[in-house]
Amino acid sequence: MSEDNVLTRREFTIESALAMLASVAITITGCGDDSPAAPTPVDRTGAVSTDNNHTHPSVTITSAQFTAGNAITLTLANGTTTHTHSVALSQGELTQISAGTRVQKATTTDNNHSHTVTFN
């Protein structure tokens, strides 16, 4: 046996300890609930496109509508015209909008036209 391969007792102990620790998983846990808090929903306003040479006022999804977690239908009215449109949003779309994802939806057709509502 050559002198190059000889370990001292101390070196052997350190190498053995490191070899054993190499297969050990260390888990650190904290007290309480470490999951991040869900963001508080805020009102989101959707911009309405101009079609058929007119537009309707923007529509707003309220924080209460986001919190309820149900599909909703919003009505686009305009005081200067005699028609309205509506736009339906699923619970999944509301979740996307609440998270800040851009969602575009077409309204119902009335007076031979529709609009696009964009939520950012």
Helix (H) / strand (E) containing 55 = none
Strand partners for 49? none
Q: Are 115 and 55 in contact (CB under 8 A)?
A: yes
For 24-80, write each residue's pLDDT tens digit. 666 666 666 666 666 678 898 898 888 878 888 889 999 999 888 899 999 988 766
Q: Please check the confidence at residue 2 and state whether its pLDDT lies above 60.
A: no
Other CB atoms closer than 10 Å to residue 117's CB: what's the count?
24
Other CB atoms closer than 10 Å to residue 63's CB: what's the count?
14
The CA R_g of the chain, rounded to the nearest whole Å, is 31
Q: Please check the confidence at residue 17 and state whether its pLDDT lies above 70.
A: yes
Domain ranges of the chain: 44-119
pTM higher than 0.75? no
Q: Are 94 and 66 in contact (CB under 8 A)?
A: yes
Q: Please check the confidence at residue 92 and state whether its pLDDT lies above 70.
A: yes
- CA dist 82 and 3 (Å) reads 100
Mean pLDDT taken over the chain = 83
